[in-house]
Amino acid sequence: MVETYKRTSNPMMNRPVVKAELVEWMRSSQTQITGELAEVLKFAKENNIPVIPHETVIYFQMLLSLLQPKRILEIGTAIGFSALIMAQEVPNAEIVTIDRNPEMIELAKKNLGKYDHRNQIILKEGDAADILKELSGSFDVIFMDSAKSKYIEFLPIALDLLSENGVILMDDIFQGGEILTPIMEIKRNQRALERGLRKLFDEVLDNPKYLTSILPLGDGLLMIKKA
């Protein structure tokens, strides 16, 4: 099961835009993950399954500690690592996470069953475009780490689900720096992804409706808040 994913994992995960020596310094000098979640991280690394990198983990821990969200929505569960990080940081929060990949869902179920001790995390299986329409109530943090071409499609629904002072975070927006490459110079099978990201940037960057911040963590993290 994991071997299939191994062959199809995204090579962009190993192409950080920030200088490699700075990335290594950030990942080695900040507080390391220990205990049960270290086991999940070890499994991800051994099987080449992309999870949020260490510098992003540290940022999430600080952000969540400051915001103290009551409800969190995650689009893209993978093996459940990021959802478990969030549950650990905000033990009173409800976390709803969505994924449609059967292989990842099975791995996530095992990890959540083993490590989600407070039963905070609700895993919803299926296409996010459909599940998002079924959700009710508001979320204080919405984290997207799924198909990048879909971010622009998910944005209007996410904004409707966002609480008054909530924050949306979108991961891997740099695509190894390819967002600066002319679209016709990008491999044909990557163009839909790139077009989706560029539509997203056209919508939210320099738009008075939103407060935005781009952070050079991992492969780029975009933060969006209603102005």
**Cα–Cα distance between 64 and 50 in angstroms, integer?**
22
What stretches of 68-150 show up as alpha helix (H) in DSSP? 81-89, 102-115, 128-134
Q: How many helices (H) and strands (E) does the chain have?
A: 9, 7
Annotated binding site for S-adenosyl-L-methionine: 52, 82, 99, 127-128, 145
Q: How far is the C-alpha of 118 from the C-alpha of 49, rounded, in Å?
A: 25
Which phi and psi (to 5°) does residue 190 adopt? -105, -5
- Binding-site entries: 52, 82, 99, 127-128, 145
Beta bridge partners of 143: 74, 169
CB burial of 15-38 (b: ≥16 within 10 Å; e: otherwise) equals ebbbeeeebeebeeeeeebeeebe
